[in-house]
Chain A
Amino acid sequence: MTATSTIPTATTRAPRPALATYAALDLRRQLRDRVGMFFIVALPSFMYVVFGLGSDERVGSGNVAMYVMTSMATYAAVTATTTVAGGATIEQTMGWGRQLALTPLRPLALVGIKAGVAMTVAAVAVGLVFAIGAITGASGSAGDWVMSGLVVWLGSAMFAVYGLAICLVFRGPNTAGIASGLIVVMAFLGNLFTPMDGLMLDIGRLTPMYGFAALAHYPQTDGWLPNGEHDPLWLPVANVLVWTVIFCLMALWGVRRSRART
């Protein structure tokens, strides 16, 4: 410890926050989290290999491998945004938020940084699952690949709101577990893991991940399901819109409730 510091009396210093530097550090921290990245990247890739590898039967404009690849990329992207958004909420309540409150960083800038980190991690996850698919026999028209990839990536933003909402509503040390546990349930009901039929499919159509997953598959299948039924485009769109609004309302309620406590 050496006394090299001076105490300036000038009041004109107001350096701008280096948001990109903060975002880069935060992103690296996220990508370094082995357990988190296992569930975000390794598990979906593994499930693609188990369920989709070498299935060359035709589905729409592509093959079964591509269909499974899209499903698993959807699951990966959802896990990514939920994990990052949920983690951000926990950071805030664990005291790092107080540390940041003593800096010039505005809350809105922080939300922007976290959204950027979440979408980057989601892009990494989707990119990796798609890359594994591409080198192991998933095939389909190039335009449909790009469309599916974009839908999966952008649509996962809706689950960032979900992660936020869950962690604000169920506060406590095991909220992250609750959030990812519910994702597995929602992924089954969303027709992502195994093709559903009959009553379960009717129930599934009302659950949060169904619409998103159906839209992700739409470029390839034009709405045709594995059991031969057909979903008109408005159904998944309505599902996504309604659930996005519900997640937003839950998050808002959670924010209000956590503020009321102080």
Chain B
Amino acid sequence: MTDTHAPAIRTSGLRKTFRAPDGGTVVAVDGVDLVVEPGEIVAFLGPNGAGKTTTVDMLLGLTSPDAGTVEVFGGPPRRAVTQGRVSAVMQTGGLLPDFTVEETVRAIAATHGRSDRVATVIERAGLAEIADRRVQACSGGEQQRLKFALALVPDPDLLVLDEPTAGMDVATRQHFWDTMRADAALGRTIVFATHYLAEADAFAERTVLIAGGRIVADGPTADVRAAFGGRSVSFRPPDDVVRPDGLDPAWLARVEQALAPLGVSGIEVSSASLESAFIALTGDTPGAAPEIAPDAATAAELTGATR
């Protein structure tokens, strides 16, 4: 059957075009080559319209590529889906509003023939308390957790997450990523697309930046950040100079003065690190800016460029 040594994902020359409403064609994905090995945690970063969701659709066999090949665990995506080896939390996947949370899980578990997993995934997604609630009465974050529970039903080897934490509050998001870390430690391969750059930075070992349907950077997250953001040194300023609107300018001036003899110039204050690489590469501002470092005012770091 499936080659056990095959990569979790292998795409080559993946290409997909759509017909635009005006009759022209839009290239959504343009020659994507990607190999993800089992056990990797990969962040898929890109602005809206970069081709992330289209790529995800092709990985899951929901859309067929116009050119190129895509393999999941050495076979066609649909086979991996049928075997329950890959599942996903999709951005546009819908739920039925008049099912309860538990019924939704039971329905999907039935389609997988895995009714034995219902209690486990409800527990893991933290849905036990709202199991009897109708889906239409659930908040966006709760629906997102339900979709996550559905993705866990087949106990997949590869989990694809398209904007998985959309709608979750900060505490729930933290909890979600803790769960994901535990899963990754058990050997699950995780590929996620996100706008929350801080999440990619904190969670992914490897980051793939995609823009205009092409991969523009691919490597260890730290390297991607370093290669495009420059080497930088960060340190935390004392609490008494941090104001709601930024750092005390007088203190900043003193820091500049003190560092000048060491050859450090161009001190800048920033709160995000991967963000600068993201903007430099994609020429776009991330959609969910307020979500990046929500405590920016108090945790502002000083970054002195030492290139």
Contact = CB atoms under 8 A, between A and B. Distances in A.
A198 interface: no
B94 A99 contact: yes
A15 B62 contact: no
B103 interface: yes
A53 to B, nearest CB: 34
Given A5-B186, A95-B92, A105-B111, A29 B98 contact: yes
A229 B126 CA distance: 67
Contact of B2 (A11, A21, A96): A11
Most chain B Cβ neighbours within 10 Å, of A13, A14, A19, A99? A99
B113 A104 contact: yes
A22 B155 contact: no
A171 interface: no
Most chain A Cβ neighbours within 10 Å, of B82, B95, B107, B179? B107
A4 B111 CA distance: 22
B103 to A, nearest CB: 6
A75 B178 CA distance: 55
A13 B87 CA distance: 15
A101 interface: yes
Given A11-B2, A21-B110, A102-B60, A5 B157 contact: no
B273 interface: no
Contacts of A19: 110
Given A96-B96, A102-B87, A8 B120 contact: no
B92 A98 contact: yes
Nearest to A3: B182
B63 A18 contact: no
B148 to A, nearest CB: 10
Nearest to A14: B83
Most chain A Cβ neighbours within 10 Å, of B88, B110, B157, B183? B110
B88 A102 contact: yes
Contacts of B96: 29, 91, 96
A22 B93 CA distance: 19
A135 interface: no
B133 interface: no
Contact of A98 (B90, B110, B114, B155): B90
B111 A22 contact: yes
Contacts of B186: 3, 5-7
A104 B95 contact: no
A227 interface: no
B182 A9 contact: no
Nearest to B156: A7
B188 A18 contact: no
A25 B154 CA distance: 19
Contacts of A96: 94-96
A9 B115 contact: no
A22 B110 contact: yes
Interface in A196-227: none
A8 B94 contact: no
Contact of A7 (B2, B98, B111, B157): B157
B208 interface: no
Contacts of B85: 11
A1 interface: yes
A104 B81 contact: yes
Most chain A Cβ neighbours within 10 Å, of B60, B63, B73, B111? B111
A85 B99 CA distance: 18
Contact of B108 (A28, A33, A99): A99
Contacts of A14: 82-84
A4 B113 CA distance: 20
A4 B120 contact: yes
Nearest to A8: B155
Contact of B103 (A25, A104, A105): A25
Contacts of B18: 262
Interface of B: 1-2, 4, 18, 60-63, 73, 81-85, 87-88, 90, 92-96, 98-99, 103, 106-108, 110-115, 120, 123-126, 147, 150-152, 154-155, 157, 175, 178-179, 182-183, 186-188
Closest CB pairs A-B (n = 4): A95-B94, A15-B113, A21-B110, A103-B111
Interface of A: 1-9, 11-19, 21-22, 25-26, 28-29, 32-33, 91, 94-105, 262
27 contacts: A1-B124, A1-B175, A1-B179, A1-B182, A3-B186, A4-B123, A7-B155, A7-B187, A8-B155, A11-B4, A11-B85, A16-B113, A17-B110, A18-B111, A18-B113, A21-B110, A22-B107, A25-B99, A95-B95, A96-B94, A96-B95, A98-B62, A98-B90, A99-B90, A103-B108, A104-B82, A262-B18
